[in-house]
Amino acid sequence: MPPSELAARLRTGLLSFPVTHFDEQLAFDEPRYRDHLAWQTEFGVAGLFAGGGTGEGFSLTSGEIDAVVRAAVDEVGARVPVVAPATGGTAQAVEQAIAAQRAGAAGLLLLPPYLTEASQEGLIAHVSAVCRATDLGVVVYSRGNAVLEDVTVAALADRHPNLVGLKDGVGDIERMTRTYAKVGERLLYIGGLPTAETFALPLLQLGVSTYSSALYNFVPRFALRFFDAVRAQDRDAVYGMLNDFVIPYLDIRNRARGYAVSIIKAGLNTVGRNGGRVRPPLTDLTPAEQTDLAALVDKVT
């Protein structure tokens, strides 16, 4: 898929970031993963990001990422663009970008490099190396130890036509305003803060036209209703759903570090979709927390 077409497709709707399923030995469970992806595409999303943060891409080996991406492309790639992850340091991210293109992915999500801090010049070199290694459209994730300043984003957009998007995981209003003012519609802007629904309405005013929905994994109809209300700027509907579901959900999610992923798999278990367990260093919800989540989910399903 040409990069410009990928960006145009992703702009049209909500973005799915599916979990990655593991068996009892915490190995990749491809049949369950494929079943989940097939179900996810029934409701109508603009793109599917395999092995991202919600998909525990940080815990997958490069070989597992390749298996996850190939399964996703084979299962749903004809119906929805599949965006593959590129993780870790520059050499590893380049290898994964090349593998994603060979696997037939429609695009690439470049996640922050592992552990090390870096200057803006270093981040430019990192992103540039990945963009040069592939013909795929690249979305870069600004978060953690790889927060991109406005001048950095502008420089990268000028140098690399296949850089098509910026996923924001920071939520800094001034930085996003500066970035949009400098770069404008040259890029697609994706909301990428944990539980992106919480920030979706205010970020819409900053040019962030879509976002990654982890909730879509287990309450897809609710997630799409919420997205439609955001796009319509229906404040009453948005804040009603925030109060009824999203904020109480956040209260459960915030009980332990790492629960942003764990609670999604717990949500799948709640609705009978068998999300299974998370890999260490993440931990699963306690039985009591699972019960609290089930009571909340009952209100919107």
How much is the average pLDDT of 32-37? 98
Told to judge if 167 belongs to the known catalytic residues of this protein, a careful annotator would answer yes
Provide the pLDDT for residue 1: 87
Give the relative orientation of helices 62-76 and 30-40 as an angle to the nearest 10 degrees: 40
User: Mean pLDDT, the chain, as a whole number?
Assistant: 96
Mind giving me the DSSP string for 49-83?
ETTSTTTTGGGS-HHHHHHHHHHHHHHHTTTS-EE
Mind giving me the DSSP string for 105-173?
-SEEEEPPPSS----HHHHHHHHHHHHHH-SSEEEEEEBTTBPPPHHHHHHHHHH-TTEEEEEESS--H
Provide the pLDDT for residue 156: 98
The partner residues of 109 in beta bridges, in order of sequence, read 85, 139
Provide the pLDDT for residue 112: 95
**Residue by residue, what is the 3-state secondary structure of 176-224?**
HHHHHHHHHHHCEEEECCCCHHHHHHHHHCCCCCEEEECHHHCCHHHHH
Res 100 pLDDT > 90: yes
Question: pLDDT above 70 covers what percent of the chain?
Answer: 100
SS3 category, 48: strand
Res 116 pLDDT > 90: no
Give residue-wise pLDDT tens across range 172-220: 999 999 999 999 999 999 999 989 999 999 999 899 999 999 999 999 9
How much is the average pLDDT of 54-73? 97
How much is the average pLDDT of 59-67? 97
How long is the chain?
Answer: 301
DSSP 8-state symbol, 277: P
Torsion of Cα atoms, 48 then 36 then 281 then 287, to 10°:
130
Give residue-wise pLDDT tens across range 131-177: 999 999 999 999 999 999 999 999 999 999 999 999 999 999 999 99
CA distance 146 to 89: 11
Cα angle 253-26-213, degrees, rounded to a multiple of 5: 35
Point out the catalytic residue in the list 33, 167, 180, 211: 167
Give residue-wise pLDDT tens across range 260-287: 999 999 999 999 999 999 999 999 999 9
Provide the pLDDT for residue 114: 82
Res 73 pLDDT > 90: yes
Res 227 pLDDT > 90: yes
Point out the catalytic residue in the list 33, 141, 216, 259: 141
Told to judge if 211 belongs to the known catalytic residues of this protein, a careful annotator would answer no
CA distance 9 to 21: 26
Q: What's the N-to-C CA distance of the chain in angstroms? A: 35
